[in-house]
């Protein structure tokens, strides 16, 4: 049996000749023998379409990514052209300074007020009012510094609350219902199990605190509105605790009394 010239085998391998063809040509019993020797001796692998390129990515994958990015750029360009055309075809909007005599607001300022009163989001309100998308957040911040705009927003909110029959007292009442609700008024429990009170037996205050009643495989699930959050809002409103960044006189008094008791 002739001795195998492994130098020629390696040269053919690194030139890209398939290992099966090399095995048949040099009388090697198995193509795997060549592959194992190539791995063991660190032969250089030829660059094929599926091999790694200098970027560390398969050549075919890199081509697909380039094609995908090209399509994305084309779509962005087409979208920008459509937006530009829509803006150019739109009727001219009045300038911010073109305020009329009704309320001292321009038409766009008035639209901003309406949308802000509904959404509470300045950038969204500015875009819907007709201000450029790219500068909507900045324009909203500028508008919120104008007294006439702030006054108009408060008027819109007051009108909406009046239409819905919502007052400050009503809001505080609902917070109190949630914050002061007790599970003991809704269900009874013991070592014998849990028994829910009938919905007809619940008071309006207790019923208002319930946000979900559902049947599960384990029984009936009753979910109450967030109690701690409601209590925090109530405490801030009544001055029991200060808002973030503020000090509360009531909290100081409580601390003094507690220190006095300890002494």
| Every domain of the chain and the residues it spans | 6-41, 107-164, 167-263
Q: What is the pLDDT of residue 141?
A: 92
pLDDT digits (tens, 9 = 90+) for 178-208: 878 777 777 887 877 787 777 777 788 777 7
Mean pLDDT of the chain: 75
Residue 154, both tokens: 């408060």
Class of residue 161 by CB neighbours under 10 A (exposed 0-12, middle 13-18, buried 19+): middle
Q: What is the pLDDT of residue 65?
A: 80
**Confidence category of residue 256, pLDDT binned at 50, 70, 90:** very low
**Confidence category of residue 174, pLDDT binned at 50, 70, 90:** confident
Class of residue 255 by CB neighbours under 10 A (exposed 0-12, middle 13-18, buried 19+): exposed
Between 160 and 71, whose confidence is greater?
71
Q: Does domain 107-164 have CATH number 3.30.360?
A: no
Task: Return the closest-CA partner of residue 95 out of 141, 139, 133.
Answer: 139
State the pTM of this model.
0.37
CA pair distance 125, 128, nearest whole angstrom: 5
């Amino acid at each position: 049996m002739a001795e195998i010239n492994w130098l020629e085998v390696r040269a053919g391998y690194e030139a890209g000749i398939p290992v099966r063809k090399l095995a048949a040509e040099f009388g090697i019993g198995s193509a795997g023998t060549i592959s194992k020797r190539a791995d063991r001796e660190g032969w250089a692998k030829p660059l094929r379409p599926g091999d790694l390129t200098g970027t560390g990515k398969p050549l075919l994958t890199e081509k697909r990514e380039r094609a995908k990015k090209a399509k994305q750029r084309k779509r962005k360009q087409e979208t920008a052209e459509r937006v530009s055309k829509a803006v150019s075809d739109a009727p001219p909007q009045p300038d911010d300074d073109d305020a009329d005599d009704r309320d001292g607001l321009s038409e766009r300022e008035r639209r901003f007020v309406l949308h802000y009163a509904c959404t509470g989001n300045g950038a969204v309100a500015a875009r819907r009012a007709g201000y450029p998308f790219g500068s909507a957040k900045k324009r909203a911040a500028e508008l919120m510094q104008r007294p006439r705009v702030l006054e108009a927003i408060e008027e819109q909110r007051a009108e909406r609350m009046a239409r819905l029959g919502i007052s400050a007292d009503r809001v505080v009442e609902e917070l109190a219902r949630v914050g002061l609700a007790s599970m003991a008024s809704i269900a009874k429990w013991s070592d014998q199990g849990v028994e829910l009170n009938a919905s007809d037996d619940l008071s309006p205050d207790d019923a208002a605190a319930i946000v979900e009643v559902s049947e599960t495989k384990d029984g009936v699930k009753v979910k109450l509105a967030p109690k701690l959050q409601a209590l925090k809002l109530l405490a801030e409103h009544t001055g029991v605790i200060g808002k973030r960044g503020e000090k509360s006189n009531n909290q100081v008094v409580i601390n003094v009394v507690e220190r006095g008791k300890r002494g």
